[in-house]
Amino acid sequence: MLSFFRGFLRQRGSVLLLTGLLLPFVIGVTGLAVDVGNLYLTQSRLQNAADAAALAGAADIRDDLIAHRTTVQGVKANHSAADNVAGGYVDDNLGKDVASRGYDVPEASAAQLQYKVSLTEDVPLYFLRVFGADKTRSVGAASTAAIIGKGKATTSKHLFVFKDGMEEVNSINNPDNMNIKGQISSTFDGDIAYTDGVTSGAPDYTPIANPSYFPPNGIQYSSQNANLKYFFTKQAADENCSVTEAEANGYGHQANYTAYDMDALHRQVTAMTQVRYTNGKNPDSSEAIFDQNTSTAIYIKEPNVNLSVNRLPGSDTHPNDPVYLNIDDSIGVVNINVNSDNVRPLVVCYNGKGEIHFNMQGHTFRGIIYAPNSPKILCNAGGGNFYGSMIASGLDLRNDRGHFFYEDFDASSGSAATGGASSDYEIKLL
């Protein structure tokens, strides 16, 4: 019996010794679990708050874009309103003691409009300090929300919209005699409008009819005859009318002022999902990359853009779904050569300040040529047919036997009468 108690005491002493040796390790592991768990919970709280704030800020930007209270460029320059909304969500979720917070509209690789929220908080360490750790550990979280255009982009409800001037060359044959049959060479079926570039207020100017060659604030119905004051419809040409007969039959129409937001299409196209064109050659609309849905834009940033327009992929299965091109603003001159009928509409969005050289070469083009800051879209029809819209500061039409028809590729508009709705945009976390 005595030997039993001696063995028990020896074992107990060993256990106590082992416990003493392991106790710091147990405390350390326990402390690590407590402090790491606290860090994890804090990071989760920060991430949830950042997600909610990014979505709220993006929604505020979307609402301002729809209401025309700002533009894409305006958002990038000043997003304080969205910051205030996002900050309210941070305060509601975390209180006002967050160590630091940041709000930004980052430059995405393909000009997609994004809103980013970054948060950090200093978390106290309770147990790990015993082992030499700092008293606090900084924890951060960030969230980015994208504002993506859905469906078809906001477009004009006009055949042409210009701001600084428009000239029409070769609109009539035999300009010296208005009574010769078959004079109508180029025709225009659709509203032609000049604008001051905003959706409210009185026009800044009324274009001067037929001034000298392509001046600011001027419009030439015919560069050959200063007395011509109308554009004529296709019916006038089909009936082999003289200018006098076309005017008498009501086949003529004039350019009128419209309140139009010149930045509308650019806002929506840049907010779409962007697919970068990387083929390293002049783009051709027959390439497979051009088979995109109506919420995606093909982003092109090549040293020079010489776009060949041919029949687009998907022309048989979805011939009325537009394909959107977002050409980088830095491109100097954009050349568009129509080599065959494209069938499926092509929307070319270029917000730079270079010229657009658009050659239809006798083919039929469906789509929109949108260049609101371009001093001139130089269009050579060459007997071709155009269906859609052109929007630019200046329009220079060289149209021997060219025929232009307005076609609507959208249910919304950049005009004052209609506009986008929140359903036109999708907001999602990246």
Q: Which of 88-92, 146-150, 266-270, 368-372 has the highest mean pLDDT?
A: 368-372
**Contacting residues for 424 by C-beta, under 8 A, at least 6 apart:** 66, 149, 150, 151, 154, 268, 412
Helix/strand/coil (H, E, C) string of 297-355? EEEECCCCEEEEECCCCCCCCCCCCCEEEEECCCCCCEEEEECCCCCCCEEEEECCCCC
- Any idea which residue has 């917070």 for tokens? 101
Determine contact, residues 300/277, Cβ cutoff 8 Å.
yes
81 vs 86: CA distance, rounded Å: 9
Structure tokens that stand for 73 in this block: 């460029």
In this predicted structure, what is the pLDDT of residue 17?
Answer: 62
Name the more confident of 141 and 257: 141
Amino acid (one-letter) located at 98: V
Mean pLDDT of 341-349: 95
Return d(Cα 241, Cα 90) in angstroms, integer. Answer: 70
Query: Which of 47-56, 96-105, 386-395 is predicted least confidently?
Result: 96-105
Question: Is residue 155 helix, strand or coil?
Answer: strand
The pLDDT value recorded for residue 65 is: 66
Residues 169-188 have a mean pLDDT of 82
- DSSP 8-state secondary structure symbol assigned to residue 229: -
Q: Which of 96-105, 135-144, 274-283, 359-368 has the highest mean pLDDT?
A: 359-368
Q: Whole-angstrom Cα distance, residue 8 to residue 218?
A: 111
In this predicted structure, what is the pLDDT of residue 351?
93
At residue 73 the predicted structure's pLDDT band, cuts being 50, 70 and 90, is: low
pLDDT for 415 beyond 50: no
CA distances in angstroms from 298 to 128, 324, 340, 348, 371, listed in the order given:
52, 6, 20, 10, 16
Under a CB-based contact definition with an 8 Å cutoff, are residues 265 and 349 in contact?
Answer: yes
The enclosing H or E element of 245 equals helix 243-248
Domain residue ranges in the chain: 2-149, 160-429
Within 13 Å and on the Cβ side, how many CA atoms surround 390? 26
DSSP-derived pairing of the beta strands 403-405 and 187-189:
parallel
pLDDT band at 205 (very low <50, low <70, confident <90, very high): low
Label residue 79 by pLDDT band (50, 70, 90).
Answer: confident
For 31-43, what is each residue's pLDDT tens digit? 677 778 888 888 8
- Looking at residue 417, its pLDDT comes to 36
pTM of the model: 0.63
Residue 97 has pLDDT above 50, yes or no: yes
